[in-house]
Every structure is written in C-alpha cells, then in structure tokens.
C-alpha cells in the first residue's frame, strides 16, 4: 500500500510508520522539514496549515491510506476532507480517549461510551473533529476510520501525572525532591507502548471493515498511579520517593491550567475494553509490560546525558502545587 503519514515522526506515529515500512508498504511523510525523515520514506515538505502550499505539494498524488496524527479541530477536519476526498481509499484520524465524558460511569470503557468531556478543551476539539469526519462519511462516503489511543508512551517518555516528555520528573526523583500524585494514588490507569499500538494501527490500514468505525487501541494491563511511579523509581535506580498525595480539586484550584489534565483525564479511571480492535486485528496483543517499557526508556535517557532535558516550568508547577498543599495542611 501507498501510505501517507501526516505527522510521521511523533511519539506514536514513528513506530507505526516503521512497522508498516517493515511490512513492505511505501511510506510518505508530510513534514515541515524540521524533523529528520528516515531515508527509506518519501518526504513531502509543506506546512499543513498553508493550504496553497499543501495543495501544490500533494498535486496529482493519491494514497491507499492517509494517517492523520495532527488534526485537532473541526476546521482542520474540514480542510482535510476537502483536500483528500476522492484521493484516498481510507483516511485514519488519530483521535483520543479524552473525548469520552469524565468521569467514566461504566468500566471498562468501550467505543459506545458517551463523549462530551466537560473539562478538556483538547478532548472537546478532538470530539468535534470526529463528529465532522463521521458526518462526511454518512453524507458523502468519506472513508474515515477513527482511532482513539489512551496514554501511549515510547522509549523517549517516562509517564507521570504531569507530563511524559523530558527528564524533569526523573530528575526530581534522583535529587530526592518531592513529587505529587493526585488523590490517594490508587486511581486506575492504562499505559500502552507505541510498538504495541503500532500492531493494532497497522492492522487497520487498508481494512475496509474499519471504515466508518471508531476504534480504541490501548493496553490490557491496568496499573495504579502508585505502581506507575514505583516502576519509574526502580527503573532509574532511586531507593525512595518523597510523595505528597494531593486532592484533584486542590491541584486544580492552585493551578487552573491543570484542570484539563486532571479532571479531564488523569483523575478518572482509564480501563478500556479492546474487544473491537482484537476482533478486527487478531494479531493485536500488548506484549510489552510497563516494567520493561519504562526500563527501556530509562536506559535511553541514561545512555546520553544530553537527552536528560529538564523543564523549569514543569519544576515550578510541582513546587507551586506541593508548597501550597503543605502550607494549607
């Protein structure tokens, strides 16, 4: 198949493109030219937000599959349907499980769970884009497949309550500086390694039964946040952790910017039923336990100190919330 990735060098898409290339498919990547593209792929250079440049770059091109990892709004979805209508056999829109209403009222969560996240603008925008794509499918036959990942990590990410990117969380643990976990740390959470996700994603490419469907791809194992932090601690070689357990409402009161992250996502149980993806893609199976995946990530960071980037802004967020809690307590 001839497959175009819109965003093919990100956290999730990198392993998806690599697996499809390994299986013999021809991979093209639409890029602004800022990140290197593997030599085996065709690089199509254009800013997706520059309509004229995009049309010129894609002139006379058609694809079996377009995999869109970067659309976030209904307006962007409209642009993409106008651009690719009649030019692809399948359009896979990467959405998110954050579209679901929070907190979840029934577990495990299936694709039929109600959408409408009252706390997350990101989830609201993705849901609006989903709805537009599905209307285009029903009314005009646009061949969309919607894929909803959960918290998906790679060898470059160390999942934690605030952010997975960078080394800030790990450095705080190494330096014996305090971190916080929302509520009592017993909230249920699902983590999916990108290589596992890629198997499900690759199986959907070119699958006619997936057109017009919304499909979540997540891991099977469910961990508590306490277990997640403990596995990170062990992976980076830290003996103990200074943890403050802080109520979600307090976190969001001190830092309203955290409302979308916590009330809109991480404070709600994330337990998913993946029967649909397993039915459509029988070889999908999550084979990388978090214990192994996080050790791979820790080893990647430790192999080169230049990779251990620390964000002053994230450090400040930890300090501000923890100091406010300690003062209030």
Q: What is the mean pLDDT of residues 223-246?
A: 97
Tell me: pLDDT of 310 over 90: yes
Q: Are 241 and 185 in contact (CB under 8 A)?
A: no
| Percentage above 70 pLDDT, the chain | 100
Tell me: pLDDT of 34 over 80: no
Residue 175 banded pLDDT, cuts 50, 70, 90: very high
Residue 90 banded pLDDT, cuts 50, 70, 90: very high
For the stretch 115-130, pLDDT in tens is 999 999 999 999 999 9
E strand intervals along the chain? 2-6, 26-31, 42-45, 63-68, 88-94, 144-149, 151-153, 179-182, 188-193, 214-217, 222-224, 243-246
Residue 51 banded pLDDT, cuts 50, 70, 90: confident
Note if the pTM is more than 0.85: yes
Of residues 71, 67, 116, the one with CA closest to residue 88:
67
| Averaged confidence pLDDT in the chain | 96
Q: What is the mean pLDDT of residues 247-265?
A: 97
Question: pLDDT at position 85, please?
Answer: 95
Tell me: pLDDT of 13 over 90: yes
Of residues 284, 293, 21, 8, the one with CA closest to residue 151:
293
Cα 102 to Cα 65: distance, rounded to the nearest angstrom: 32
Cα 77 to Cα 158: distance, rounded to the nearest angstrom: 31
> In sequence order, which residues have a C-beta less than 8 Å from that of residue 98 and are 6 or more positions away?
117, 120, 122, 123, 126, 264, 265
Q: How many CB atoms lie within 10 A of CB 14?
A: 20
Q: What is the mean pLDDT of residues 258-283?
A: 97
CATH class of 2-152+192-217: alpha beta
For the chain, the structural domain boundaries read 2-152+192-217, 155-190+221-270+288-328
Cα 174 to Cα 125: distance, rounded to the nearest angstrom: 37
| Percentage above 90 pLDDT, the chain | 90
Question: pLDDT at position 209, please?
Answer: 98
Of residues 133, 274, 144, the one with CA closest to residue 212:
144
| Fold category of 155-190+221-270+288-328 in CATH | UDP-galactose 4-epimerase; domain 1 (3.90.25)
Q: What is the mean pLDDT of residues 232-245?
A: 97
> In sequence order, which residues have a C-beta less than 8 Å from that of residue 234 and are 6 or more positions away?
none
- Region of poorest pLDDT, from 19-28, 41-50, 254-263, 315-324: 41-50
Question: Max Cα separation, the chain?
Answer: 65
Tell me: pLDDT of 33 over 80: no
Question: pLDDT at position 8, please?
Answer: 76
Of residues 228, 224, 223, 203, the one with CA closest to residue 279:
203
Tell me: pLDDT of 154 over 80: yes
């Amino acid at each position: 198949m001839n497959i175009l990735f819109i965003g093919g060098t990100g956290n999730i898409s990198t392993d998806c493109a690599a697996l499809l290339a390994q299986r013999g498919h021809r991979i093209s990547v639409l890029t602004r030219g800022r990140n290197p593209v593997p030599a085996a792929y065709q690089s199509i250079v254009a800013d997706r937000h520059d309509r004229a440049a995009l049309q010129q770059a894609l002139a006379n091109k058609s694809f079996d599959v377009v995999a869109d990892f970067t659309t976030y709004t209904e307006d962007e979805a409209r642009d993409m349907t106008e651009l690719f209508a009649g030019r692809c056999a399948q359009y896979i829109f990467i959405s998110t499980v954050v579209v679901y209403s929070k907190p979840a009222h029934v577990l495990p969560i299936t694709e039929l769970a109600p959408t409408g996240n009252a706390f997350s603008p990101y989830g609201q925008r993705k849901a609006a884009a989903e709805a537009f794509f599905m209307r285009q499918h029903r009314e005009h036959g646009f061949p969309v497949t919607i894929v909803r990942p959960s918290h998906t990590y790679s060898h470059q990410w160390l999942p934690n309550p605030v952010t997975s990117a960078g080394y800030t969380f790990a450095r705080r643990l190494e330096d014996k500086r305090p971190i916080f976990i929302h509520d009592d740390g017993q909230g249920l959470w699902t983590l999916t390694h990108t290589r596992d996700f890629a198997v499900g994603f690759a199986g959907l490419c070119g699958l006619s039964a997936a057109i017009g469907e919304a499909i979540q791809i997540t891991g099977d194992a469910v961990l508590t946040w306490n277990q997640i932090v403990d596995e990170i601690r062990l992976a980076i070689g830290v003996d103990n952790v200074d943890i403050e357990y802080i109520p979600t409402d307090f976190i969001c009161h001190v830092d309203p910017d955290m409302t979308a992250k916590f009330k809109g996502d991480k404070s709600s149980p994330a337990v998913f039923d993946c029967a649909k993806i397993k039915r459509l893609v029988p070889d999908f199976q999550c084979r990388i336990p978090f214990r192994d995946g996080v050790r791979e990530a820790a080893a990647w960071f430790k192999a080169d100190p230049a990779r251990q980037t620390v964000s002053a802004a994230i450090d400040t967020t930890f300090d501000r919330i923890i100091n406010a809690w300690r003062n209030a307590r």
